[in-house]
Amino acid sequence: MEKLKVLIVDVNYMFLKGLESILKEEPSVELVGEARTGCEAVALAANVKPDVILMDVNMPAEDGIGVMKGIIEKLPETNILVLAVDGNEEEMIEALRNGAKGYLLKSLLPNELLAFIQMANRGEYIISGPVAKEIINNLAKLDHLYTSRNSLPNSDLLTKREKEILSEVVKGMTNRQIACTLFISENTVKNHIRNIMEKLHMNRRGQVAALALQEGWLQKTV
- Mean pLDDT across 72-90: 86
Last residue of a domain, one of 76, 110, 128: 128
154 and 98 both lie in a single domain: no
23 and 92 both lie in a single domain: yes
13 and 120 both lie in a single domain: yes
CATH of the domain at 214: 1.10.10.10
Ranking 66-75, 149-158, 168-177 by mean pLDDT, the lowest is 149-158
pLDDT category of residue 221 using cuts at 50, 70 and 90: very low
13 and 111 both lie in a single domain: yes
110 and 176 both lie in a single domain: no
Task: Domain count for the chain, please give it.
Answer: 2
Neighbours of 156 (CB within 10 A): 6
Q: What is the mean pLDDT of the chain?
A: 83
Question: Nearest-CA neighbor of 94 among 122, 130, 66?
Answer: 66
Q: Measured between alpha carbons, how far apart are the two ends of the chain, in Å? A: 27
Question: Nearest-CA neighbor of 214 among 124, 81, 147?
Answer: 124
The C-alpha atoms of residue 192 and residue 185 are separated, in whole angstroms, by 11
Quick one: how far is CA 197 from the chain centroid? 22
13 and 116 both lie in a single domain: yes
Between the alpha carbon of residue 201 and those of residues 101, 132, 140, 153, 173, the distances in Å are 28, 21, 16, 9, 21
85 and 163 both lie in a single domain: no
Residues with Cβ within 8 Å of 119's Cβ and at least 6 positions away in sequence, in order, are: 102, 126
88 and 150 both lie in a single domain: no
Between 69 and 214, the higher pLDDT residue: 69
The C-alpha atoms of residue 23 and residue 55 are separated, in whole angstroms, by 14
CATH of the domain at 35: 3.40.50.2300
Domain that holds residue 190: 131-221
Last residue of a domain, one of 128, 152, 180: 128
43 and 86 both lie in a single domain: yes
pLDDT attached to residue 153: 60
